Every structure is written in structure tokens, then in C-alpha cells.
Amino acid sequence: MARAAGPERWLLAVYTGGTIGMRSERGVLVPGKGLAAVLRMLPMFHDEEHARALGLPEDTLVLPPASPDQRVFYTVLECQPLFDSSDMTITEWVQIAQIIENQLFRGNRVTKVDARRFAAFCSPNLPPLAAVGADVSINRELVCRVRGQGRLVVHSSMERNVGLLRLYPGIPASLVRAFLQPPMKGVVIETFGSGNGPTKPDLLQELRAAAERGLVIVNCTLCLQGAVTSDYGAGVALSGAGTVPGFDMTSEAALAKLSYVLGLPGLSLDGRKELLARDLRGEMTPPAADEPRPSLQGSVLGRGIAQLLSLRQEADEMWDALVPSLACAAAYTGDLEALQVLVELGSDRSLEDFSGQTPLHAAAQAGQAGAVTMLLQRGLDVNARDKGGLSPLLLAVGGRHRGVIGLLRAAGACLSAQELEDSGTELCRLASRGDCEGLRAWGQAGADLRQPGYDGHSALHVAEAAGNLEVVALLQNLRGGAGDQALGPEVLPAV
């Protein structure tokens, strides 16, 4: 559509079918055609006298004046065939986005709250951008500013294997497990209150296992108003299981955002999670204090922070809060110089950060063998568990960091009895995906590769049924979990 000069503005209204244009057919409401003709007869939607004075074409409508010097002209485009919103899929989302491209309406804060009334939608966590009465009042401070001068680009590469799961008290872990199975790539979970959910160990383990194999889980509250926070222990437990906070996003917006982010090419898993937790198009309100974890990459920055902290001053509370997080950041990035100073500074204090992780957790998760070696020499607990129940060994297994697994095992790290029992299901999943590195990592960590999954089948059975000869050969060569000896000398690199 063209944009008129002066105060007049041209808009394109896209009609797909829905409440405003429903008609009765044999006693059933279905999307009705000819919306433009209906609007033309309603003075609130069309000023016929002004349209005749200007000689507007038949497909163009004009609203009554919003102010003495402002008019809005618009046309209505009806999708053929019309479809009800309840039948829409990602294909229709992309179709509508491509139709209204350079002219996108902001709707990512809206949810439907009434099935019968005309005012069927509301924006629970953001005031309306505009209110229409005798005049049009625009809340300009809420309107997102255009970023750059480029034209709007519609991203049509959307991930379709996403879903929505609503948790409820007493939900069986088996049901959650079944829902999280491949080919599912991402899931929005609806939780209670400010992001709380059941804290049963078996349910949390299912979420944790899914997150470790790459499934992206976004936590949204099922409440109309409010946001996901970590104020309650139940919310912290879900965060520790690997979920991404959805803050105050609606479930509808979170599902669409998840589909979009997972469809972007070339992003790492951490990169996708970072995008999901960031406000991209005004769809969420991140916490005011939401700052990225500081990075100590580079010895100059590490020395600067260490020198600053060495002043100590008199604020012990600040020290107790800063040193563990900074030490974890240094361990994660492999900055050995900064890590050594920070560990020495915190030698008489706990080095656990707010999530219960120690620098050894961070180094193991990132595969930083040098940092792991240093921390083991400093005597950090090799079997320490964070608030989510994860050990450095489990984090190293999840990252397939076999050199780190070897170091931890040599220092006495081991899987718990429950983890050994539960490993069978994860081994079957890895076998079904042909993930040889994952199987090697679990075997190196001490898991019995013959351990059956929840359905009684072992990883070898799964690989044979799938006809994956490479995995079959690997499992046979590893001799059913014979430990490090079956994996050969490669597992203990020189550090």
C-alpha cells in the first residue's frame, strides 16, 4: 500500500475469519465473507460522505477523523479460503506475515479472554498502545521504535516441532517424558504463579534430561498477569532443570517466538536460549536488574578484576556475593590467571554461586580441562551438587567433554545410584539418534550401557531395531559398560 502525504495514513487490514465477521450457517458460526461490505455500512468504520467527496475507489474505506487534522484510510484483504484462528498453523502465520510485510501490527502481547463478547482480547501485562473513543489516544512511550532503516523482513523458516505443555499438580513424569520425545525440538511449559511447578525428582529429571539432549524449554506462567521469577524454591528447581524463563510473555507469544528462534540457522544452543530470554519485539518485559553474567575472558580483564577485588574494603557481604560468581565465570571461560586469584580470595568462604554451582561445575560444563585440573588440585569437591542436583561429571557428560570426564573420574567422580538406574532411558535416546559421542561419554562416566530404559529395552536393542550398524558396533565394542578400560587410553588427555 502507498503512504499518503500529510496527516492521512494508509493501512492494510487482513481478514482471515473470526469473531467480528462470523455468520450463522445451519445454526453454527463460521467465518463469513464480505467483511469490507459490512464495514462500509457502519459509520464507526467508514465515513461514506468523506469517501464520496474524495472519490475513493470501492475497495478503500476511511475512518471518521481521529482528530481535526488526522484521517486513516484502509483497505480490507480477505484471505481465500477464510480460516478460523483455531485451525491456523505455522504455515498460516507465515502467510499472514508475508501479506502484511512493511505494515506489521503488534499483537505479541495479546491473548483472547472472552469467547462471546466483541471485546474478546486483552493485553494483560502491557497497557494498550492506543485507545479509540471520541479521539485516538496513543501511548507513544509504549510504541517500539524502528531499529535501523532497512525494510521489514519476514522469516519464513519456522521450526514446526514445537509444543505447549500445561503442568498441573500430580502430573505424572511418564506423561511429561512422552511429550518431550523427539522429534520435539522446543516446548513451552505453563506453570503456576510466578513460574513454579511440581518439584518431584522424577519429573525434574525428565525436564533436565530433555534439556541436556538439546530440547529448549521455555517456562511461562499460566496466570494472565505477572511474570516468571525465581522468588520461590519451586521456580528455582525448574530453572535448575534447564528451563528458560519466559518472564511475562503470553504462552501464544512464547510458542511463536520459540518457533522463530529455533528456525534461525547457525545458532548454538546457548545462543538460542539467550535470544529467548531477550526482548526482541516488545513481547516481554525483562527484569530491570537482568544483566548478563560478567565474562573474565582475557588476562588483562581478569587481572583488573582481581586487583579491584583485592582491595577488599569492608563489605564482606559484597565479597560473598561477587567472588563465587566471578570465579565461576573465570572457570567457564578458561581464564586461569583470574581463576587462581579468585579462588585464593575465596579460600576461606564458600565458592558456591546463587545456583549452588562451584567453579568446578562451570569448568566441567564448558569443557575447560586446564581449569578443571587447577580446581581439582585446589581440593574442590568433585561430587558437589548444585541446586538442580547436577554434578560436574553430569555436566561434562552433557557436553561430551571426554577429556574432562576422564579427569573427574580419575579424581573420584561417580554417578549416583539413581543416575545409574535412570541412565538406561537416556542411553536409548542417544542410540535412537545415532549419538555415538554421547554414548561414549556416558560409558566413560561409569554408566552400564546394558542398562534398560523405562520400557525394558536397552540401547543395543534400540540401535539394532533402527538398523544403525555404527551404534551397534560401538555398543558391542564397549562391552556393555566395562568402564574406562573399554574406551581405550584416549580418554585421559595430557593437560
Q: Which of 16, 19, 243, 250 is catalytic?
A: 19
Same domain, 130 and 199: no
| Final residue in a domain of this structure, among 112, 142, 172 | 142
Whether 459 contacts 427, CB under 8 Å: yes
Residues with Cβ < 8 Å from 26, sequence gap 6 or more?
none
The pLDDT assigned to 78 comes to 75
Whichever domain contains 465, its CATH number is 1.25.40
**CATH code of the domain containing 204:** 3.40.50.40
Residues 371 and 425 placed together within one structural domain of the fold: no
| Residue 249 and residue 324 in one domain | no
What local confidence, expressed as pLDDT, does residue 495 receive? 27
Any domain includes 152: no
Give per-residue pLDDT as tens, 298-322: 455 555 554 554 444 444 555 666 7
Determine, yes or no, domain membership for 21.
yes
pTM > 0.75: yes or no: no
In a domain, 387, yes or no: yes
| Structural domains of the chain, count | 4
In sequence order, which residues have a C-beta less than 8 Å from that of residue 113 and are 6 or more positions away?
120, 121, 122, 224
Does residue 303 lie in a domain region?
Answer: yes
Q: Under DSSP, is residue 29 helix (H, G, I), strand (E, B) or coil?
A: strand
In this prediction, residue 292 carries a pLDDT of: 45
pLDDT digits (tens, 9 = 90+) for 212-253: 999 999 999 998 888 887 655 555 667 777 899 999 999 999
CATH number reported for the structural domain that contains residue 345 in this entry: 1.25.40.20
Res 83: pLDDT: 67
Q: Is 142 exposed, middle or buried (0-12, 13-18, 19+ CB in 10 A)?
A: middle
C-alpha closest to that of 216 among 249, 156, 250, 257: 257
Q: What is the structure's pLDDT at 337?
A: 85
Query: Which range marks the domain in which residue 307 is found?
Result: 299-394
pLDDT computed for residue 291 by the predictor: 43
| Low-confidence residues of the chain: pLDDT under 70 | 1-33, 66-69, 83-85, 96-101, 103-106, 115-120, 130-138, 145-150, 152, 230-237, 288-321, 345-350, 479-495
pLDDT, residue 11, reads: 47
Look up 19 and say whether it is catalytic: yes
